[in-house]
Amino acid sequence: MKIGITCYPTFGGSGVVATELGHELARRGHDVHFITYAMPSRLNVFAERVTYHEVSVPSYPLFQYAPYDLALATRMGDVATHVGLDLIHVHYALPHAISAHLAREMLAPRRLALVTTLHGTDVTIVGQDRSYLPITRFGIEKSDAVTAVSEHLKRVTIEVFQPRREIEVVPNFIDPGRWTPESPDLACRLVPAGRKVLLHVSNFRPVKRVLDVVEIFDRLRQRVPATLVMIGDGPDRPAAEALCREKGIAPYVSFLGNMPALEAVMPAADLYLLPSDSESFGLSALEAQACGVPVLGYAVGGLPEVVAHGETGFLRGVGDVAGLAEDGASLVLDPPRYEAMARASRERAIRLFDADPIVSLYVALYERVLAAA
């Protein structure tokens, strides 16, 4: 198959999943063409059967805002025509599903199948601005198939949009050979002697509650010598840095910015912190568990589908920083219990979220959509 993939080329989960899916499809012999405005953060353009097509958005004085959705539709149609795409798989409904639908309308009567994967905020943002509801529902219903990354997100999508079509659940996945507890040299160099390492990775947006990350760490380190590693960037990073200085813990906290090779750092952690207000899935928590790192987070959204409370980590109510700090401290102070949870974390991650069977679900979905066409 010749498959086009469009995603947001950022460090967020939707772009990461789309990129990893493209790599897996290429390894299976499919030709994969990424169509987006910038290079996805984890894309290997030197991989065989992987091609990147940039979307350039011309700037005209008439437009107050550059019409990216129209430029994307035009580029999708251009790539589909010249490389002979069979199908385009968009990650995130707005504006990608709308642009893809417009592209195939321009290509008619030539057939271009459309699969849309919902990742979370493309659905939940409608709760904040209802003006997007009709066009998001339109994109969902005009797709040949729609998937959601968790049962929770499927339920929310049905509740919000009441679409006249089925929503299938295809979860996010990991490559067990890449995400492994075996610590590379880089990870070893990051581990301070005699301290436990707590890790957080995000886009530092308010929904990620990075100030709660700092609060959990501050409480935990009062019982256990520890250091905190914060990876990523975003609007709440300055506030997090200021809180560390205010509490006098700045010497024990490292802000490393965005890093593309997280698999080289994740195994160095003893605990992974993800106290978000909302998580449709929680890909970074899955990656941590695959590396044998237990997770501390809030029992919201799809995260309980990824983290088994008491087995692969601990989940508390939103805002319970004291409870999570106590859970984490008690765990790392009990080595036999910690080792058992670390093993269980990796075992469950591989058993439920191994890339091979999940990518096979996507391939079967593509074949079914193309056969129906």
Out of 45-49, 79-83, 207-211, 220-224, pick the least confident: 45-49
Contact in structure between 167 and 147 (CB atoms under 8 Å): yes
- How would residue 128 be classed by pLDDT, with cut points 50, 70 and 90? low
Report how far residue 231's alpha carbon sits from residue 235's, in angstroms, rounded to the nearest whole number: 13
Report how far residue 227's alpha carbon sits from residue 84's, in angstroms, rounded to the nearest whole number: 52
DSSP 212-259: HHHHHHHHHTTTS-EEEEEEE--TTHHHHHHHHHHHT-GGGEEEEE--
Say whether pLDDT at 273 is over 70: yes
CA angle 10, 172, 83 (to 5 degrees): 65
- How would residue 59 be classed by pLDDT, with cut points 50, 70 and 90? confident
Q: Tell me what pLDDT residue 186 has.
A: 53
Contact in structure between 240 and 211 (CB atoms under 8 Å): yes
Q: Tell me what pLDDT residue 129 has.
A: 76
Contact in structure between 138 and 111 (CB atoms under 8 Å): no
Q: Report in angstroms the alpha-carbon separations of 163 from 101, 135, 143, 157, 280.
A: 17, 12, 11, 8, 19
Tokens 């659940």 belong to residue: 169
- How would residue 192 be classed by pLDDT, with cut points 50, 70 and 90? low
This model's pTM is above 0.95: no
CA angle 148, 150, 152 (to 5 degrees): 105
- Pairing type for strands 226-232 and 196-202 reads parallel
Give tens-digit pLDDT for 150-183.
Answer: 999 999 999 999 998 999 999 999 999 999 998 6
Say whether pLDDT at 268 is over 80: yes
- Pairing type for strands 87-91 and 295-298 reads unpaired
| Residues 91-108, mean pLDDT to the nearest whole number | 94
Q: Which of 316, 120, 325 is nearest to 207 (CA)?
A: 120
Q: Tell me what pLDDT residue 191 has.
A: 63
Domains and CATH numbers, the chain: 2-173+354-372 (3.40.50.2000), 185-353 (3.40.50.2000)
Q: Which of 194, 193, 189, 257 is nearest to 229 (CA)?
A: 257
Contact in structure between 331 and 309 (CB atoms under 8 Å): no
Report how far residue 113's alpha carbon sits from residue 368's, in angstroms, rounded to the nearest whole number: 11
Say whether pLDDT at 127 is over 80: no
Q: Tell me what pLDDT residue 101 has.
A: 97
Give tens-digit pLDDT for 76-89.
Answer: 999 999 999 999 99
Q: What is the DSSP letter of 307?
A: S
Q: Which of 143, 198, 186 is nearest to 165 (CA)?
A: 143
